[in-house]
Amino acid sequence: MDRHNRSAPPVASRPGSGLRAPAGRSRPWRLVAGCYPWRLCCWLARGPLATDRRGVIALEFALILPLLILFCFGTVEVGRFVLLQMKLDQLAASVADLGTRDRTLSAATVDDIFAAGAHIVQPFDLATDGRITLSGVGLTAGDQPRVLWQRRSGGTLDLPSETGTVGNPATLPDEITLAVGQTVVVAEVSFSYRGMFGLLPARVTTKRAYFRPRLGSLQQLSSLGGVVRPMPEGAGCCNNRPWRAPVAASAVVASG
């Protein structure tokens, strides 16, 4: 047979033009040529890419990995903030409790209490980001309690006491009422929190505890050194129970 007389393979015409392509390659040729762009999705859905399952697990893991990382970092950040709140509650209650155990209280004893309190909030740095304020509030005359004395720990956090300043009217919760001659010792712990990963906004948290003196009135800081006895296990827990003045034992209420 003459090779010039061989029949040509069947071809498919491109609509709208005189171009021709082999019939077996008509669909991909049309898609590339751009005659029916909407068929591209159909061809991909029924083509080899739709049945090829290689790399699916890696693709799914790559899609979910950012969410996993955010979840892990968020868990650490929130857990660290909750831990700080618990430690500040415990510190405020412990400072107020230690400050009301003896008949007299001196400035040196208060400083020792502050130094011991820094270990309670570890691993947080109280000297850099926090401050403790211990105040004595009493009602000596009239109908408005006043700050009788106040002592503050060292630190770079410059935050005024929410209880008030010495000689001025004191700010106390509505649940606390004092009779003439009664005193309440207020411990305030403030801390400037900054997150490790920036997921939580920076904020200043303040915890307060209110204790009544056990033995004396503690209406002033004594010039004599007091004695700080070790705190028994479980004492001085900070909670949200209301404080009632008539009870003889110490009571505590804290807020943030």
Question: Which residues 6+ apart lie within 8 Å of 195 measured at CB?
Answer: 77, 80, 81, 201, 202
Contact 68, 164 (CB under 8 A): no
Structure confidence at residue 239 as a pLDDT band (50, 70, 90): very low
- Token pair 């155990």 is found at 101
Domain for residue 31, yes or no? no
Domain for residue 256, yes or no? yes
The secondary structure of 90-150 as a DSSP string is: HHHHHHHHHHTSSS--BHHHHHHHHHHHHHHTTTS-HHHHEEEEEEEEE--SSSS-EEEEE
SS3 state of residue 59 = helix
Over residues 212-226, mean pLDDT: 75
Q: Give the tens place of pLDDT for each residue, 57-83.
A: 888 889 999 999 999 999 999 999 999
Domain for residue 59, yes or no? yes
How far apart CA 102 and CA 96 sit, in angstroms, is: 12
**Residues of the chain with pLDDT > 90: what percent?**
37
Question: Which residues 6+ apart lie within 8 Å of 42 measured at CB?
Answer: none
Looking at 27-31, 135-139, 249-253, which range is the least confident one?
A: 249-253
Contact 213, 138 (CB under 8 A): no
How far apart CA 93 and CA 99 sit, in angstroms, is: 10
SS3 state of residue 66 = helix
How high is the pLDDT of residue 196?
84
Q: Give the tens place of pLDDT for each residue, 149-158.
A: 999 988 788 8
Q: Give the tens place of pLDDT for each residue, 83-135.
A: 999 999 999 999 999 999 988 888 899 999 999 988 999 899 888 889 999 99
Cα 232 off chain centre by: 29
Q: Give the tens place of pLDDT for each residue, 203-214.
A: 899 999 999 998
Domain for residue 246, yes or no? yes
Our count of domains for the chain comes to: 1
**Residues of the chain with pLDDT > 70: what percent?**
66
Q: How far is CA 42 from CA 28, 93, 137, in A?
A: 12, 70, 80
Contact 170, 137 (CB under 8 A): yes
Domain for residue 24, yes or no? no
Domain for residue 11, yes or no? no
Please check the confidence at residue 139 and state whether its pLDDT lies above 50. Answer: yes
Q: How far is CA 25 from CA 4, 11, 22, 32, 34, in A?
A: 24, 9, 6, 11, 14
- The whole domain housing 190 covers 38-256
Higher pLDDT, 112 or 25: 112
Please check the confidence at residue 244 and state whether its pLDDT lies above 90. Answer: no
How far apart CA 233 and CA 114 sit, in angstroms, is: 19
Residue 104: is it exposed, middle or buried by C-beta count within 10 angstroms (0-12/13-18/19+)?
middle
Please check the confidence at residue 246 and state whether its pLDDT lies above 50. Answer: no
Domain for residue 139, yes or no? yes
Contact 200, 240 (CB under 8 A): no
How high is the pLDDT of residue 158?
85
How far apart CA 146 and CA 140 sit, in angstroms, is: 8
How high is the pLDDT of residue 179?
87
Domain for residue 17, yes or no? no
How high is the pLDDT of residue 212?
92
Q: Give the tens place of pLDDT for each residue, 36-48.
A: 556 666 666 666 6
How high is the pLDDT of residue 222?
76
Structure confidence at residue 32 as a pLDDT band (50, 70, 90): very low
